[in-house]
Structure 1
């Protein structure tokens, strides 16, 4: 951004939306700001260049380049530059589903986030500003999508307390994910085999997977097998349930059926019928 400052104030949509933008902008020379009663909306602030410090009720945190903070509505705060110049981007937003969505994504409020210098996250707010500048969204629907995208990108690229970002965890696990995509049919796959792909222990693999996805590698494998099974059931109706079971890494058809029923709430045969006629039913219909 070459402009000294950019600020867009957007009207609150008349209809209820899960998210909406209150304001968004860029400040090339951030000044001292004091809000003893906080801001009425959720408030994101991050450093584009220079450094600043934000004072909360219980502590103060420094925001160097590629660092930002997300505040809840009503959180008292002050901030100011450290040094001669502090350039910032900011986004204030609200909506009925902000808290739920942030919780489901594991996003922490009043925490400092940081990201790699070359991260795609640094382009999220400039892109949003360009969109707001180019297009007046009267309904607020497109802006609602943009707020959700911002939260997802923060989840993917933001790191808190030196913990790895979701993106870096996924990159670390990518060789295993690719291996499972091609070898899910093998009924002998176990944790030790999967851990060996990444040259780590089974315990470390379990920890990495839980941090990245919230469940274990074995749960991921079962989910992948069931996804493949559903594809086979629909795409090739000549295959028996027992054949699909063997093709997707289950040793026994009974185990496959029980696992499928638990996950989908119905048997494989009922799932197949729900998505179209079985070969026998189709033949009978033609007679």
Structure 2
């Protein structure tokens, strides 16, 4: 048994950065051979059985909790190994389809394992149900769901490295320590000790996961805390706020605030109608 729906799009939908074109479900996926590929981006997710994806001379097993990502116009074939091989699928396009999937970790056609298969199944079922519905603006709603699906992929996809979510969890003790001690002096050694790693490895982890060095990230946290104080305590002086969030020198705080926010602390306060 199979169910599927292909969406008709208005001019508005085709101007979206990314939009869904169709969705479907095979209770027992049939063999697919596309010698010239398929013109759209495709994402297929296995919920039962086992299949095989063939790309060129490479064959990859596809089991429950795994997804297949296929770039447009890339020759491929896939078939069941253990039946029933149950598959949910959707396809999409848009000017930002490639950049967004790259950001999610889908850097090439292939098989990807998910750390949260339940969430992925929820998205795939919701996409099909919505595509099959006759609701107004169904194309827009499906595209919104597709965007959310790709965002969740960023947290749970794994291939050749830990998922973003797993990496963030690894740094969680440092994040928690910063949150509790940002008003005090915090050294690289303090943070590295929390993870039992060297300071060099700590810096590497931060650059890889949050694209900032640890001290840069700490200063961004302090800047955000200072903005909260400026909104909460309208009579507090800027220099006093700087010291309360962990900056020894108000001048350095003001320079860093302007570099980060594009305006001085005084301008930030004034723009938020604070005196």
Fold-level similarity (TM above 0.5): yes
Q: Structure 1 residue 270 and structure 2 residue 267: aligned?
A: yes
| 1:226 corresponds to | 223
Q: For residue 84 of structure 2, give the secondary structure of its aligned residue in structure 1.
A: strand
| 2:201 corresponds to | 204
Q: For residue 152 of structure 2, give the secondary structure of its aligned residue in structure 1.
A: helix
Deviation at 1:213, TM superposition (A): 2.1
Deviation at 1:201, TM superposition (A): 2.8
Deviation at 1:133, TM superposition (A): 3.8
Conserved 8 A contact 1:23-1:92: yes
| 1:157 corresponds to | 156
Label 1:107 to 1:84 Cα distance change in 2 as closer, same or farther (>3 A).
closer
| 1:26 corresponds to | 25
| 1:259 corresponds to | 256
Deviation at 1:79, TM superposition (A): 0.9
Deviation at 1:116, TM superposition (A): 3.4
Q: Structure 1 residue 75 and structure 2 residue 84: aligned?
A: no
Deviation at 1:58, TM superposition (A): 4.9
User: Where in structure 1 do 4 or more consecutive aligned residues deviate above 6 Å?
Assistant: none
Deviation at 1:137, TM superposition (A): 4.4
Deviations along 1:197-229, whole A, 9 cap, x unmatched?
Answer: 233332333333333323222221111111111
Question: What is the correspondence of 1:8-157 to structure 2 with a 5 Å cutoff?
Answer: 8-15=5-12, 16-116=15-115, 120-134=119-133, 136-138=135-137, 140-157=139-156
Unaligned runs of 5+ in 2: none
Paired residue total: 273
Label 1:33 to 1:274 Cα distance change in 2 as closer, same or farther (>3 A).
same
Greater alpha carbon shift after TM alignment, 248-257 vs 93-102: 93-102
| 1:173 corresponds to | 171
| 1:239 corresponds to | 236
Between the aligned partners of 1:107 and 1:239, the Cα distance in structure 2 is 48
Between the aligned partners of 1:72 and 1:95, the Cα distance in structure 2 is 13
Q: CA RMSD in A?
A: 2.0
Deviation at 1:118, TM superposition (A): 6.0
Q: TM-score, normalised by structure 2?
A: 0.91
Deviations along 1:46-92, whole A, 9 cap, x unmatched?
Answer: 21111111112352222122111211111111111113331111110
Between the aligned partners of 1:137 and 1:62, the Cα distance in structure 2 is 39
Q: For residue 140 of structure 1, give the secondary structure of its aligned residue in structure 2.
A: helix
Question: What is the correspondence of 1:186-201 to structure 2 with a 5 Å cutoff?
Answer: 186=184, 188-201=185-198
Deviation at 1:232, TM superposition (A): 1.4
Unaligned runs of 5+ in 1: 279-287
Between the aligned partners of 1:135 and 1:230, the Cα distance in structure 2 is 46
Q: Structure 1 residue 248 and structure 2 residue 245: aligned?
A: yes
